Structure 1
Amino acid sequence: MRNCNLDYSTITNCDPIQVQQGPEQANGPCQIRWRPRPIKICPSLDRTSGILKANKEAGHILGHRFAVLAAMGSSGAFPTLDSLHFPSAQTSISQTLASLRRSALSVSNRLQSIEIDAEFVREVADHYGLPLVANERCGSWYIDPTVKAGSAYFKSTDGHTGQWDFSFRRLNLQLLPLANQYGGCVIVDSTRRGKLMPDALSKTVPIWCAVLNRALFPEQEEYHCVNLPPNYLGESEESQIASRIDGFVHSLQSLKLDLTHLRQQLGKPMQVAWANRSYIHPPDLPPNNNSHLLVLCSASRRVQGAEMSEGGYIQGAGDDSEAWAHGLTPPVFWANREILKQAAEEDLPGVIADLVAEYKRQNTVHQATLIAPTRNLYVSQTDVRVDVGTQYDLVIDCNGDPSTTEGNPGRLNLGCASAKLGSRDLRKSLSRVREFIAAQLGSDSSRTLLVTCETGKDLSAGALLAIICLFYAEDGSFDVSQSKRSMSKQFIRQRLAWIVSSKHDVNPSRSTLQSVNAFLMEPPDY
């Protein structure tokens, strides 16, 4: 049986009523009569502009038409269904564009783009002669760990229009001694398509610098203004930001941090400069022995159009790595660049999984951090090798299985889930934490306590915050009578500053802090 080439734009608006084919026509074309039916015409496949509009209606029509054709084809005198052209089997324009975009945003293209941007970052560091600091988490992708001097935690959300803020969860005080030692630093970040720089670099860091300059160096008014990138923000936004700085300074002072000590750590006020692919500002910066320089470097080239037009280059390729990296981290990437380059795109997920697993096997030591001014409270990422009674007298594991602590009075596992569910679980578990601390440290306050969670940054910080508020005095000493004092948000914020200034990468989520606040501020049951 022969195939008939039929234009579906014709048969979709007609009904077949008769097939004429005699013996003398056995080798000739099929002859089909069609009865017109009053329906809307579905455009031919070559009229691509009409496909999206008519696609749904054409699908219903073709389903009916080809059911009839299939029945007629059982006689063997009619074309098979396989020989006919189904529009549903064809890739639409939107599907094609989506496929092309996914291809342009492939893992290999991202890693190649990161290497290109990292070269620019190195050039900026060499130009200024300053060490590189990654604004986590995106910034670490663009810095070889062997030359990375530190990390910062400035969020773009603190610089969003109308939401300008000086975050007390992200004080970034670890930058003060670093800037004093080297005369400044280059803070590296990036942003995705369409923007010249992230809000973290255009607004959040300048706000932070202005607040600290005013709080630590009140007499040096020439450094009190908030410096913003030139010709980047509107006058109204610049004015509104400037009007909030004094309020942020007052809030910082209310934390009761040792500002004299912080001033000694920093040594001099800070000024900012910007480096990106479009410009360096100020272009001619004279040497200044009276201040430290923070260069805010946006690593990626600005892309105006779609990634498909950039030959594989992706602006801000390191951003939102949870969505594309398959578990790959900057240290694993930088240690295995050649292996990753040689792997085919379809093999990368498996290759990455193997590299990450090997890295974890070789780097399983989690260093605990002492929370000052206490002398016995530590926080860390969960480490199954930590044994109660050897390194630490007491351990609270926020994510640990409670059933595994039977017969071990020095260990408390809370069994919290991950993410937001874990924050709610923590709220329900804090009464157990209070009882555990009262019993264990109440009898011997010199015991050391390690609090852990999966990340060492969220739930563990929340549990520690509750412990500090309930049991620790202003000088960092244990005092069980503190548990009966009334709590306020301001007091809780002051104690949170102990944790944030001791462990710089700690980042308790909003839901975790809300759970702790709700527990501490509820009326006592005595």
Structure 2
Amino acid sequence: MDEFKNEFSINSITKELKKESLCVKNRLQSILYDSYYVEKVASSLGLPLVPNERCGLWYVSPKKRCDTAYFKSTDGHHGYWNFSTRRLNLHILKHLKAHDGMVIVDSTRRGKLMPDALSKTIPIWCAVLNYVMYESEEDGDIINSLGLDYNDDLSMFLLSVKRNNWLRTSDEIISSSEKSQIIERIPSFALELKKVGITKEVLVKHLGGDRRPIVPLFQYPLKPKSNDQLFTEENTRSCPKFYSVYCLTASIKIESQFHRMVVGVRGSKPSDIHVAWNYVQGSADDHESWATSFNFKLGPDFWWNNVFNSDGQHNTQVIDSRTGYIHNDLTDEKLTEIINAIHHRIQDAHSGTIAPVDVTRVQYEGTDTKIWFGQIKSALATSQVLQVYPRVKFLVVLSAIHSVSVPENSEVTVIHHDVPSNKKGSRMLRDVSPSILSQLNLSPRDEIMILCDSGADISVGVVLLLLCTRFNASWTSRDVKEDRLCKELVKKHLTKLSQIRRVNPTRSTLQSVHSILF
């Protein structure tokens, strides 16, 4: 019995210590530590930062983001490798052209050097795009087009990547067996990309006409020097012959759940100023599960713009300007109280101001569907819409959070359904979409606006339904004889949408679209 009590006591103490180590303050302190590392790497490389949504957003201040990307780790899980035509990320290609490369930032939980999104999903993406751009071209033609000598180190390096169907992974992280299995799938992934209309010409256009291989490189804290005999990664930093995509893990790999971090900062006094906390690897991951003590949904933009900074300066209530970290003497409870108070003050300051919708017009290369879609950010009045979009005659709002006020004799027909931005909301599309579509009787001059809480999921589902039923793959009026309704047509429309706005309809949303159409 005594042994049982002792074991129970030890387990209770361990549980409490783990809970304390994962508290909000330790997580935010760890995020700051990792963000300074990310900034240092980007500065040394001279490349812009592109955080991978969602976790990566925490490690890069909004003011320092060149753009954002969305590569899912699930597309790189062992045995389930995939190239997603729902998440093409073609919008970041223009930054490769502008800067010759970029740093994509992400992190992962304890025990791993890199998240699968960085170690496999992005390398697969690079390989597929290269495969399409250079398909059927001989080695010599590729080397000549890049202005290289056939036998130099750089040529050998690029051709070694090309012979693996353009797949390059980190030898420290990915086994040769797993790599060979992924290599075999690259041609089929490339075929899927071409099926949705992304050809060599389209990719080169996104790169501003400057075709070069896109090569992933890998960086993480405490990484040893490269042993690559063909072409070391250190030599690629200013290489103009290919586009460098640095896959940067923000967090240090730790094995123990209790890792004490101490940072010394030289102050004005002779003694050092020390900041100490329990370090949390990948602390930003799944923030909805740990940022639960606040009166609102704490997100990375609010943290950086309003808590860490205040009008460009450190918010001294939270951040010690001498160290750049959270004050040592702040308890978790006090930190939460201060952040809640900051949010309350900002809400009061902005009450009564107009929060604009964030929308994109569905048009592409001279074609115009007269459809707007995107995000509703606050309660909305139809008069606010008409001030900026006077030709909108139908306003479809799919939100369980924000209301829409409609005056009598309104010129706008408002269709509002309480559809949340989650899996339940995706399933609700099956019930509300037929009614929505039947009410949209548009004249040639009328425009329609479709809004949801995220601007990337639920509203996209309704847009896809409109495009499939009323437009062909070129976004001109659909002839009933052409473009048979099928999943391939949905993919083509979604691919074009992804080139004009960052959209990310969930699998549940697409399943609802398919169930309505087929």
**How does 1:105-504 map onto structure 2 within 5 Å?**
105-218=22-135, 219=137, 220=142, 222=159, 223=162, 224-257=165-198, 259-266=200-207, 267=210, 268-279=212-223, 281=226, 282-286=232-236, 287-307=238-258, 311-325=277-291, 326=294, 327-335=297-305, 336-337=307-308, 338=315, 339-340=317-318, 341-342=326-327, 343-358=330-345, 362=350, 364-373=355-364, 374-375=367-368, 376-383=370-377, 384-385=379-380, 387=382, 389-390=386-387, 391=389, 392-399=392-399, 410-437=413-440, 439=441, 441=442, 444-479=443-478, 481-482=479-480, 486-504=484-502
Gaps (5+ residues) in structure 2?
143-157, 227-231, 262-276, 309-314, 319-325
Aligned-pair distance for 1:105? 0.8
TM-aligned CA distance change 1:345 to 1:462, over 3 Å: same
CA contact 1:397–1:451 (8 Å) conserved in 2: yes
Q: Please give the alpha-carbon distance, in whole angstroms, between the structure 2 residues aligned to 1:254 and 1:274.
A: 30
Q: Which residue of 1 aligns with 2:515?
A: 518
Q: RMSD across aligned C-alpha pairs, in angstroms?
A: 2.5
Q: Which residue of 2 aligns with 1:58?
A: none
Q: Please give the alpha-carbon distance, in whole angstroms, between the structure 1 residues aligned to 2:516 and 2:82.
A: 26
TM-score by length of 1: 0.76
Q: Secondary structure at the match of 1:174?
A: helix
Aligned-pair distance for 1:259? 4.2
1:191-246 per-position Cα deviation (integer Å, ceiling 9, x unaligned) = 11000010011000000000001112333483442000023222211110000000
Q: Please give the alpha-carbon distance, in whole angstroms, between the structure 1 residues aligned to 2:434 and 2:477.
A: 18
CA contact 1:328–1:356 (8 Å) conserved in 2: no
Q: Secondary structure at the match of 2:235?
A: coil
Q: Secondary structure at the match of 1:296?
A: strand
Q: Secondary structure at the match of 1:157?
A: helix
Q: Please give the alpha-carbon distance, in whole angstroms, between the structure 1 residues aligned to 2:31 and 2:414.
A: 44
Aligned-pair distance for 1:364? 3.4
TM-score by length of 2: 0.78
What one-letter code is carried by the residue in structure 2 that aligns with 1:398? L
What one-letter code is carried by the residue in structure 1 that aligns with 2:180? S
What one-letter code is carried by the residue in structure 1 that aligns with 2:499? S
Q: Please give the alpha-carbon distance, in whole angstroms, between the structure 1 residues aligned to 2:131 and 2:80.
A: 21
Q: Please give the alpha-carbon distance, in whole angstroms, between the structure 1 residues aligned to 2:177 and 2:187.
A: 18
Q: May I ask how many residue pairs the two structures share in their alignment?
A: 432
Q: Secondary structure at the match of 1:152?
A: coil
TM-aligned CA distance change 1:436 to 1:217, over 3 Å: farther
What one-letter code is carried by the residue in structure 2 that aligns with 1:181? A
Aligned-pair distance for 1:469? 0.6
- Between structures 1 and 2, the one with greater helix share: 1
1:14-37 per-position Cα deviation (integer Å, ceiling 9, x unaligned) = xxxxxxxxxxxxxxxxxxxxxxxx
Q: Please give the alpha-carbon distance, in whole angstroms, between the structure 1 residues aligned to 2:300 and 2:404.
A: 36
Q: Please give the alpha-carbon distance, in whole angstroms, between the structure 2 residues aligned to 1:51 and 1:483.
A: 76
TM-aligned CA distance change 1:485 to 1:414, over 3 Å: farther
Q: Please give the alpha-carbon distance, in whole angstroms, between the structure 2 residues aligned to 1:183 and 1:365.
A: 35
What one-letter code is carried by the residue in structure 1 that aligns with 2:476? S
**More displaced 10-residue stretch of structure 1: 356-365 or 283-292:** 356-365
What one-letter code is carried by the residue in structure 1 that aligns with 2:501? K
CA contact 1:101–1:308 (8 Å) conserved in 2: no
TM-aligned CA distance change 1:475 to 1:291, over 3 Å: same
**More displaced 10-residue stretch of structure 1: 377-386 or 153-162:** 377-386
Does 1 or 2 have the higher relative contact order (CA < 8 Å, sep 6+)?
Answer: 2
